[in-house]
Amino acid sequence: MQASMTLLVPVAVGGLIILLSRRLRWLTPSGQLAAVVVGLAVAVGSGWFGLGLLLVFFLTSSALGRYRAGAKPARTEPEGRSAPQVLANGGVAAALSVLTLAGWAHGAQYALVGAVAAAAADTWATEIGSAGSWPAWSVVNGSRVPAGRSGAVSLPGTAAAVAGAAAIGTVAALLAAVAASPGSGESLGGAMRLLAPTPGWIPLGVLAGTAGMFADSLLGATLEDRIGLIGNDGVNLGCTLVGAGVAWLLAGGG
C-alpha cells in the first residue's frame, strides 16, 4: 500500500504537468502520449530522482523556447514537441529506469543524470544560441556560420549549455542529499540505488552534458546536415546517449 501511494504522487504531478503543457501548447497530442510513457517508466524505475530531473529539464526548456521566439528560425512543430522529440530527449532516461527495474542498480543513476544533463545542455544552447545575431562557428572546421544552424556553436550558446547541464547536476545533488536522509532513499529513488558518484553531481552533470551537446553539434553538422543520414531527433538521441555514457565512465562505470 505504501509503495502504491509513493508511486501515486509523482504520477499525479506528472499528469498535472502534461495537462499544463497541453494548455500552453508545449506538447502535441502525440507528444503528450509519449510523455506519459516516459514519465511512467521513469517514475516507477527511478522515482522522484529521475522524475525531478526530467521535470526541471522540460519546464526550463519549454520556457526558454518562448524566449525571443520571433528572433529564432521557424519551428517545424509550432504546436509543441511531438512524440519523436519527446522520445529523443527522454527515451534514454526511460530506458535506464527500465534497466534499473531489471536489476541494473549500480551505474544507472550516473547515466540517468548524464542523459538528462545532455538534453538540457543541448536545448538551452539551441534556444539561447539561435536567439541572437552573435558570431557562430562550425564545430567541424571552425568557419563562420549563421547562429542557430545545425552544427553551429557560439559563446552564448556554449555558456547556456554549461548552465543547463549544471542546473541538472544541481538538482541531482539536492535530490541525492534528500535521499541520504534516514528513511528517504527508497521512496525517492524508486528501484534505483542512489549513491554519491566519485566526481560529484554538479561536475558530473556539466562534463557529461557539455560532451553530449558537442556530440549533438558534430552529428548535426555531419550525419544530419551534410549526409542526411539521420534527422534532428536522431541527433538528439545521440546527444543523450553520449551524455549517459560519459557520465557512467566519469563515475567509474558500473
Closest by alpha carbon to 13, among 42, 107, 29, 221? 42
Write down the pLDDT at residue 63. Answer: 87
Predicted pLDDT at 4:
47
Query: 60 Cβ partners below 8 Å, 6+ apart?
Result: 120, 124, 164, 167
The tens digit of pLDDT for each residue in 178-192 reads 877 765 545 577 777
Cα dihedral: 217, 220, 223, 227 (round 10): -130
Question: Where residue 5 falls among pLDDT bands split at 50, 70, 90?
Answer: very low
Measured distance CA(239)–CA(234) in Å, rounded: 9
Residue range 107-140, pLDDT digits in tens: 889 999 999 999 999 999 999 988 877 899 999 8
**pLDDT value at position 228?**
78
- Cβ-based neighbour number of residue 1 at 10 Å: 5
For residue 186, give the C-alpha cell.
527508497
> Phi and psi dihedrals of 104, rounded to 5?
-85, 90
Which tens digits make up the pLDDT trace of 13-61? 667 767 777 766 788 889 988 988 898 899 888 888 998 999 999 989 9
- Whether pLDDT at 163 is above 90: yes
Among 132, 189, 140, smallest CA distance to 156 is for 132
What pLDDT score does 79 carry?
A: 67
pLDDT above 50: residue 2: no
In the chain, what are the domain boundaries?
2-69+81-250
pLDDT in tens, 200-225: 899 999 999 999 999 999 999 999 97
Whole-number Å distance between alpha carbons of 156 and 60: 17
